Every structure is written in structure tokens, then in C-alpha cells.
Amino acid sequence: MYCPNCGKVIPDSSKWCQYCGQGTNNHNNTSSRSFKTDAEQKISTQDDKPKILLNIASVLIPLVGWILWYVHKETKPKSAKTYSTLAWIGFVLNLLAMVSA
């Protein structure tokens, strides 16, 4: 079965999604797992798309990407991973440009 909130595959007998904590309306399981707090639910439902300009800045100035990763690693993990990856790409490209010059 799939989680109605995040879409990940979860066991058919699950009452809660193990990834996002959303209830599955499956009342056959008597698990005592508690609900996520309002703050955790708000974080998990936020728009987690990386911004184009921040992506460009992460490549051109890797330090910006690493700072963005640090700031967003808990609240927007997908965006944070993108910023970090682009920062490393920018770092390697800058290093290659310096070596070849």
C-alpha cells in the first residue's frame, strides 16, 4: 500500500506511515505510535523545491550552497541536498578552472 500523504510504499497493515507519520485510515493495526506535532506536520508539508536563483548561486559561490544546506537541512531536506550537491559541483569546477589557468 502507499502512504496517502507522501506516496511511499508502506506495509499493508500499517496504521501510520513510517516516513512522514501520516495516518493511513487502516484501523486493523493497534500500534500505539503517536501523531506528529503540528510543527512537524507543517515542516513535512512545506514546499520543498529548491529555488532557481539559489541553485545558480550555489554553483557560482559554493560557500553560499553550503550555508543554504546548513540552514535548510532540517526543514527542507530535498532543497538542502540540492544546494549541497551544487556547491560541491561549483567547488570542483572552480578548482579545475584554477588548475587549468
- Domains of the chain, by residue range, sit at 1-45, 46-100
The whole-number pLDDT of residue 40 equals: 59
Whether the Cβ atoms of residue 5 and residue 17 lie closer than 8 Å to each other:
yes
Residue 27, pLDDT score: 56
Which of 31, 46, 38 lies closest to 76, judged by CA?
A: 46
- For residue 90, give every residue at least 6 positions away whose Cβ sits within 8 Å of its Cβ, in sequence order, or none: 58, 59, 60, 61, 62, 65
pLDDT at 49: 74
**What are the tens digits of pLDDT across the range 11-57?**
888 887 888 888 887 655 444 445 556 655 555 545 777 788 888 88
Q: pTM for the whole thing?
A: 0.52
